[in-house]
Amino acid sequence: MASIKTLQQAVTNITIWRKGEQRAPHKPLLLLYVLAGYQNGHGRLFNYGTEIRDNLHVLLERFGPQRAQYRPDLPFWRLQGDGFWELQNAEHCSTSGSSRQPPARELLEHNVAGGFDEQHYSLLIKSKNLIDSVAQQILETHFTESIQEELADELGFNILQIRKQRDPLFRQQVLRAYNYECAICGFNMRHDNASVALEAAHIKWKQYGGPCDIPNGLALCAIHHKAFDKGSIGLDENMRLQVSEAVNGSGIVGRLFWDFQGKAISLPQTKALYPQEGFVEWHRREVFKG
Ligand SMILES: [Zn+2]
């Protein structure tokens, strides 16, 4: 029987599918897209060719790691194994290959449509709160806080508790190690004694096992923090700033970004507290859009 429990369990299962440290946002982004549709009154099934393919491709490009190609057909087909996802017209596709996944064009040719099964769908459409809480569970498991916020805003989910997960000790230790200044631009505004818009960024996301320790942290102003989480900027092996070619804008944007391109960031006094290359390398591979 479908219940709120089996739904939450199913969402936990898509986490298990994740390949170790590599970001695999395909299933999470597809589910978020579909849940957002339900919230806006969309029917149970989504047509792959006309509704899913291009929209999921855009989400993968924007919120996934940089890859040579994106395959929106993979999660759409493979979610069938997760116990709550149903496809219509799938029986017309050929699944004789070793991957048991038909060529993507067959999903178009046979008008394959997919969505939650009847039981889970009827649970979901009864409660906007349930949709929000399932969406929140997916967001928290797969994306760092600033990206959770961005996705929730864009897809229209009500996410209330993002800030609660933040670790105050991590913030305090990281800001102190970096002398209460942005490691990139030196921003250090205070209002009386309180730092304003200065944040402790995780280099490797907590969602992928990045610890809340100084060697996995950077003190960044709010703008550089957001840009770092977004993959607009990254660091090379020598802790020099790399700016993505996707960055554009005029005036102050040039001064905040291109002026620091190739420049070494400010580091803590003690070498033991420097960012660890393993974490920086993860960020370069899974987040930075070079
Ligand atoms: Zn800054």
Q: Which pLDDT score, from 0 to 100, does residue 55 have? A: 97
d(CA 92, CA 102): 10
In sequence order, the 6+-apart residues with CB closer than 8 A to the CB of 268 are: 177, 178, 214, 274
Q: Which pLDDT score, from 0 to 100, does residue 162 have? A: 58
Asked whether residue 51 carries a pLDDT value surpassing 60, the answer given is yes
Tell me the CA–centroid distance for residue 220 and ligand 1, in Å: 5
Tell me the CA–centroid distance for residue 261 and ligand 1, in Å: 13
Tell me the CA–centroid distance for residue 209 and ligand 1, in Å: 25
Q: Which pLDDT score, from 0 to 100, does residue 139 have? A: 93
Tell me the CA–centroid distance for residue 219 and ligand 1, in Å: 9
> Which residues, listed in sequence order, are joined to residue 265 by a DSSP beta bridge?
none
Q: Which pLDDT score, from 0 to 100, does residue 100 have? A: 81
Q: Are 74 and 110 in contact (CB under 8 A)?
A: no
In sequence order, the 6+-apart residues with CB closer than 8 A to the CB of 69 are: none
- Within 10 A of 276 (CB to CB), how many other CB atoms are there? 18
d(CA 201, CA 179): 15
d(CA 172, CA 159): 25
Q: Which amino acid is at 31?
A: L
Q: What is the 3-state secondary structure (H, E, C) of 224-241?
A: HHHHHHHCCEEECCCCEE
Tell me the CA–centroid distance for residue 188 and ligand 1, in Å: 9
Tell me the CA–centroid distance for residue 138 and ligand 1, in Å: 30
In sequence order, the 6+-apart residues with CB closer than 8 A to the CB of 266 are: 178, 179, 181, 183, 184, 186
Q: Which pLDDT score, from 0 to 100, does residue 91 have? A: 93
In sequence order, the 6+-apart residues with CB closer than 8 A to the CB of 180 are: 188, 190, 195, 198, 219
d(CA 281, CA 118): 43
pLDDT mean across residues, the chain: 92
Confidence of residue 183 (pLDDT cuts 50, 70, 90): very high
Report angle CA 84, 89, 93 to the nearest 5 degrees. 105
Tell me the CA–centroid distance for residue 239 and ligand 1, in Å: 15
Tell me the CA–centroid distance for residue 202 and ligand 1, in Å: 15
Q: Positive or negative CA dihedral for 62, 64, 70, 72?
A: negative
Tell me the CA–centroid distance for residue 211 and ligand 1, in Å: 22
d(CA 214, CA 171): 9
pLDDT in tens, 63-121: 999 999 999 999 999 999 888 999 999 999 988 766 688 999 999 999 999 999 999 99
The pLDDT > 70 percentage for the chain reads 94
End-to-end CA distance of the chain, in Å? 46
Average pLDDT over residues 3-28: 80
Q: Are 26 and 126 in contact (CB under 8 A)?
A: no
The pLDDT > 90 percentage for the chain reads 80
Q: Which pLDDT score, from 0 to 100, does residue 109 have? A: 96
Residue 202 tokens, joined: 């995780």
Tell me the CA–centroid distance for residue 223 and ligand 1, in Å: 6
- pTM for the model stands at 0.91
pLDDT in tens, 136-172: 999 998 999 999 999 999 999 988 765 555 688 999 9
